[in-house]
Structure 1
Amino acid sequence: MHSSPALVDQRTHAPLGPTITALGVAAVLVVSQLYGSIPLAPLAAREFGVAEAALAWSSTGFGLAYAFGFLFLGPLSDRFGPGRVMVIGLAAAAVTTAAVAVAPGVSALVVLRVLQGFVAAAFAPAAMAYVVDQIDPRRRAIAFTILTSAFVSSAVIGQVGAQLLGDLAGWRAVFVISGIGLLACAVWQKFALRPDLDDRPTVSVAPWRVMLDLLRNKRLVLLYAAASTLLAAFVGAYSGIQITGLADHDGLLWLRASALPAMVLTGVAAGLVTRISAPRRTVVALGFSAVGAAITAASGGSLVLIGAGMFLFSACVVAAGPAIVESISDNAGAARATAVSIYSFVLFMGASLGPQLAVALHGAGFAVIALAATALLAIGTVLARLAR
């Protein structure tokens, strides 16, 4: 007796390499839209004739809308399938990203960035749910680590790429090029990835009821609280380096680029890293990220020490993210896309508040900003330990 083609397809798994490549490239482009605005702020401020601090709301507006977008758009994957949601979300993100390039002033820029952030939020939870649906469970931890490495490495890639492109062609051109790239990713995923499974677990109840059920899980709540500290400290530290004038233009480029090898190495070492259980990886990674932040706080303004601290900090952020996602997915049942949406919400709520943390403390100097980041990560480590 022969099985139908549809049934055979449902019993096989998507190839890891091509799948993660397509998702990873899109992940870098999507999340780079948050971090790329940091080095572009001086260029936009100069054109609009305002203080650079006023442009912090461009990053914060995107981050807040991105975070809230997860709550509204993330659960769609549980109902309509992650593949379909990813393609539509990337196409919408392409249009709104290109629209940012025509902003006539600061207010319009912030509004367009809010819209951009909201629609971009469709991608991340859908991508995570797609991995769970399509990748062999034995290789899923590696897939999570590589994909999360792509998300987190965009913090550096987005800043370096935006700084280089902005210097060459202006800040508006960066958003035009990004929009074209996002549209290309939508087309790539439409034709290169497998369609959603017909028999995938679905959630038929209202998303808000699912969220409330998930938030009754004490372990999930502790993991969400720990995750909220991760990017708040990371983005706050990078914003603090720039806003306090600690380094000149070339020094900022060097600091941003020097963290990229740490992220790449962590992704390459995914096979070894994932041998450690997800709960233990979370605690260890958060703990060492606090050590990295503490090194920058004690640097005395030395760019070499700050670079060393951010190297360790960046590697640990890459390691912590997938460990938290894996732990959350293991405790969420069929509502994994919704659970990851809540995770993404709290993660990027922290990221959106990072620039404001730097603005609030910049008068006291970078060391105080770095100490605040260290304290946040120490709290996150304790919360992750309690979640075990």
Structure 2
Amino acid sequence: MANSDQITSRVPAAAYALCLCIGLVGANSLALGPIAPRVAESFASDVPAVMTASAAFGIGTAASALLLAGLIDRFGPGRMLRYALLAFLAALAASGVAPALPAFVGAQLLAGLAAGVALPAIYTLAALASPPGRESDTLGVVLFGWTLSMVAGVSLSAVIADLSGWRTVYGIVVIAGLAAVAGTSNLTAGGSAAGRAAPSPLSALHVPGIAPLLLACAAFMASFYGVYAYVGDHLHRVLGLPVSAAGLLALCYGLGFGATAFLDRWIDRLGPARLLPLFFAVVGCVYLLMSLVAGSYPALLAVVFCWGMANHAALNVLILRLAALDPSRRGAIMGLNSGVTYLALFVGTTAFGPLYARAGFAALGLTAVALMLTAALATVLTSRTAAAGNQPAE
């Protein structure tokens, strides 16, 4: 009977609701890159200037995650997720009607402040909902939301931007977001006892083994957002393709991201600690291939599919490793993860921009290779630190 219960609860219903929430946040995080040329034309600006909105979103998310994510442990992840999603939708609506680029950047900053609470709440709920021994499977379903955002969100946004303008994209995302909010109504809203101070996510920096994992997270995410931010402009300006071509590329990434879900059950069996350095090394190899085939659209499509597969595996294992460090501080740890992730978004988009302008897209891939080597080495250090401190590596 116990085995039967474990099988039937393998994928909790909450995981699907959380998948929609990830898809909502992901649609905003990732959609701007492909439609940036259209946004730039609308505001009589250029793509690097428009991408400052993505950087603002990253800064807002990071600041909110570091300052407010501790409220998740106090008031409950379900309640905090619902409040954050409502604020997020309001910011997206403001983005869609922004009359000028500064207003658009400001709206994206507000969206980031809301996302900084929503994302750690989502990952905390995913960890709470996971049956023992099925953590990777459950998280894989939640992470499938990134696939939804790429396949149904980002790829369609590029087509919509070509057909009816980029503002329509934000209107559609707001409407879709109402479904995500409705899906959170049954998620737990429990928290700690009233009057207990909300722990700061920064307090989780003292958890053994967390520093190298956060370094790996920073390198991983800076490489992803730095490359992703400019691939749309590379296709449009350098290869002479329409904006919708970036939509097909995003579709390939999303399909690759989703295709890796079948590996999630093997991650639980083989152990996240030993797999994470390998997965980061594979991501680095993908970036190397991307820099080599930057001049060929068909080849880029194939490599981007592999990029999605490798990133799914690496992200799944990274979150599992972080969530397992200290279950009593899971909300704070996930807040640190989100804070570092979106600080990396800011660094990636701002630092890779001048490099892209001077040396082209291929140089971004080579820089990402160096970052992924850093991530792989950091995770090896994490395993050794855990062993030295008699901490479980898996």
**TM-score normalised over the length of structure 1:** 0.88
**Which residue is equivalent to 2:84?**
89
**Which residue is equivalent to 2:15?**
20
Distance, in Å, in 1 between the alignment partners of 2:195 and 2:344 is: 28
User: Paired residue for 1:290, among 279, 284, 290?
Assistant: 284
**Which residue is equivalent to 1:5?**
none
Q: In the TM superposition, what is the alpha-carbon distance from 1:168 to its structure 2 partner?
A: 2.7
Q: Aligned pair in 2 of structure 1 residues 351, 371: CA closer, same or farther (>3 Å)?
A: same
Distance, in Å, in 1 between the alignment partners of 2:10 and 2:189 is: 15
Distance, in Å, in 2 between the alignment partners of 1:56 and 1:194 is: 34
Q: Aligned pair in 2 of structure 1 residues 157, 371: CA closer, same or farther (>3 Å)?
A: farther
**Which residue is equivalent to 1:220?**
210
**Which residue is equivalent to 1:262?**
256
Q: Is the 8 A contact 1:288 1:313 kept in 2?
A: no
User: Paired residue for 2:303, among 280, 305, 309?
Assistant: 309
**Which residue is equivalent to 1:230?**
220
RMSD of aligned C-alpha atoms?
Answer: 2.4
User: Paired residue for 1:207, among 196, 199, 203?
Assistant: 199
Distance, in Å, in 1 between the alignment partners of 2:190 and 2:294 is: 55
What SS does the corresponding residue of 1:103 show, helix, strand or coil?
Answer: coil
Q: Is the 8 A contact 2:217 2:337 kept in 1?
A: yes
What SS does the corresponding residue of 1:122 show, helix, strand or coil?
Answer: helix
Q: In the TM superposition, what is the alpha-carbon distance from 1:79 to its structure 2 partner?
A: 0.3
User: Paired residue for 1:274, among 268, 274, 287?
Assistant: 268
Q: In the TM superposition, what is the alpha-carbon distance from 1:134 to its structure 2 partner?
A: 3.1
**Which residue is equivalent to 2:388?**
none
Q: Which runs of 5+ in 2 are unaligned?
A: 1-7, 384-394
**Which residue is equivalent to 1:383?**
378
Question: What is the identity, as a one-letter code, of the residue corresponding to 2:97?
Answer: V
Is structure 2 residue 336 aligned with structure 1 residue 336? no
Q: Aligned pair in 2 of structure 1 residues 100, 330: CA closer, same or farther (>3 Å)?
A: same
Q: Aligned pair in 2 of structure 1 residues 132, 300: CA closer, same or farther (>3 Å)?
A: closer
Distance, in Å, in 1 between the alignment partners of 2:188 and 2:166 is: 37
Distance, in Å, in 2 between the alignment partners of 1:342 and 1:163 is: 32
Q: Is the 8 A contact 2:18 2:126 kept in 1?
A: no
Q: Is the 8 A contact 2:158 2:246 kept in 1?
A: no
Q: In the TM superposition, what is the alpha-carbon distance from 1:254 to its structure 2 partner?
A: 2.9
Q: Aligned pair in 2 of structure 1 residues 226, 148: CA closer, same or farther (>3 Å)?
A: same
Question: What is the identity, as a one-letter code, of the residue corresponding to 1:100?
Answer: S
Distance, in Å, in 1 between the alignment partners of 2:208 and 2:328 is: 18
Q: Which runs of 5+ in 1 are unaligned?
A: 1-12
Q: In the TM superposition, what is the alpha-carbon distance from 1:201 to its structure 2 partner?
A: 9.4
Distance, in Å, in 1 between the alignment partners of 2:141 and 2:218 is: 21
Deviation string 1:201-230 (CA, Å, 9 cap, x unpaired) is 99944523x623x21235100000001111
User: Paired residue for 1:64, among 59, 68, 85?
Assistant: 59
**Which residue is equivalent to 1:47?**
42
**Which residue is equivalent to 2:134?**
139
Q: Aligned pair in 2 of structure 1 residues 203, 232: CA closer, same or farther (>3 Å)?
A: farther
**Which residue is equivalent to 1:38?**
33
Is structure 2 residue 104 aligned with structure 1 residue 109? yes
Q: Aligned pair in 2 of structure 1 residues 134, 58: CA closer, same or farther (>3 Å)?
A: same
Q: In the TM superposition, what is the alpha-carbon distance from 1:152 to its structure 2 partner?
A: 6.4
Q: In the TM superposition, what is the alpha-carbon distance from 1:115 to its structure 2 partner?
A: 0.7
Deviation string 1:156-197 (CA, Å, 9 cap, x unpaired) is 65431221222232111211221222222112211xx24345
Is structure 2 residue 188 aligned with structure 1 residue 195? yes
Q: Is the 8 A contact 1:295 1:305 kept in 2?
A: no
Q: Is the 8 A contact 1:243 1:358 kept in 2?
A: no
Aligned residues: 371
Q: In the TM superposition, what is the alpha-carbon distance from 1:15 to its structure 2 partner?
A: 7.2
Deviates further, 238-247 or 334-343 = 238-247
Question: What is the identity, as a one-letter code, of the residue corresponding to 2:202?
Answer: M
Q: Is the 8 A contact 1:229 1:347 kept in 2?
A: no
